[in-house]
């Protein structure tokens, strides 16, 4: 096996949550290009077919499953559907998430809980459902955020708390499952990438934040997908419980 062979995911099955748009689409296509069949999960099931076409264009099989990760039963149904179709789950990319920017004195309990339910609890329920059937050598890649490590000038208590929680969840699942089950759990902390979330930012915000990006540009979703493929592959076989910032240098400024 060559070094490059270790990055391949041929014959494996990956689940990508939040696969209907944005970074989820990039993850799905990246995993398909690396050789994996892909289970596409999202609440907006009607939008999954476009992502499925990208997976099929890469020569792999796509399965679309309507999933609200905030619902433990829905996460279990997602895992059951993957097992029924493919007989295995090798990779879970916990990408589903939402963001808000509400001042802490004005944020309602419902607003705060919704972010935590999807971003943090949803990551847990999906990992739990998949972890029950994953075999040794499998991998979970949680999508955290640089806002779980630093701040970025917006009132994002719910989002930052949820992503900090994902980082803690990653460490704990890694120590629970790494040795006993042979399932590696790691996280990525993306910086600024074009997505539905960045589309809601006020004019001028991203230009101001660019001053903190050492590389001076926003990230390319394919760069993020490549990191996820690495973490899921044998190339990262000795990487466990880590959160990898992919941020152009935001967290060092």
Which residue out of 159, 201, 205, 238 is catalytically annotated? 159
CA distance 120 to 134: 21
Q: Are 32 and 60 in contact (CB under 8 A)?
A: yes
Question: Quick one: tokens of 120?
Answer: 């943090």
How far are the Cα atoms of 45, 81, 110, 249 from residue 56, in angstroms, in the given order? 17, 19, 39, 34
Rounded to an integer, what distance in angstroms lies between the CA atom of residue 64 and that of residue 24?
13
Contacts of 143 (CB under 8 A, 6+ apart): 23, 93, 94, 95, 97, 166, 187, 188, 190
Is position 159 annotated as part of the catalytic site? yes
Tell me how far apart the alpha carbons of residues 3 and 180 are, in angstroms, rounded to a whole number: 27
Comparing CA positions, the residue from 185, 164, 179 lying closest to residue 242 is 185
The β-bridge partners of 141 are: 93, 186
- Rounded CA separation 142/236 (Å): 15
Cβ neighbors of 81 (< 8 A, separation 6 or more) are 39, 63, 65
Catalytically annotated residues = 159
């Amino acid at each position: 096996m060559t070094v490059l062979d270790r990055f391949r995911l041929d014959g494996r099955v990956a689940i990508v949550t939040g696969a209907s748009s944005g970074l989820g689409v990039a993850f799905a296509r990246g995993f398909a290009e690396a050789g994996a069949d892909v289970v596409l999960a999202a609440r907006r099931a009607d939008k999954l077919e476009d992502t499925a076409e990208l997976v099929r264009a890469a020569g792999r099989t796509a399965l679309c499953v309507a999933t609200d990760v905030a619902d433990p039963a829905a996460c279990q149904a997602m895992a059951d559907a993957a097992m029924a179709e493919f007989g295995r789950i090798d990779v879970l990319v916990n990408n589903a998430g939402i963001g808000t920017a509400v001042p802490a004195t004005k944020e309602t309990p419902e607003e705060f809980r919704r972010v935590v339910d999807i971003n943090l609890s949803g990551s847990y329920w999906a990992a739990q459902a998949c972890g029950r059937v994953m075999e040794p050598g499998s991998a979970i890649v949680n999508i955290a955020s640089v806002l779980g490590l630093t701040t970025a000038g917006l009132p994002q208590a719910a989002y930052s708390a949820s992503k900090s929680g994902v980082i803690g969840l990653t460490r704990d699942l890694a120590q629970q499952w790494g040795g006993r089950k042979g399932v590696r759990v790691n996280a990525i902390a993306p910086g600024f990438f074009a997505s539905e979330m960045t589309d809601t930012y006020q004019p001028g915000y991203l230009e101001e934040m660019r001053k903190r990006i050492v590389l001076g540009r926003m990230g390319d979703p394919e760069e993020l997908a490549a990191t996820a493929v690495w973490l899921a592959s044998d190339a990262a076989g000795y990487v466990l419980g880590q959160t990898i910032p992919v941020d152009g240098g935001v967290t060092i400024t």
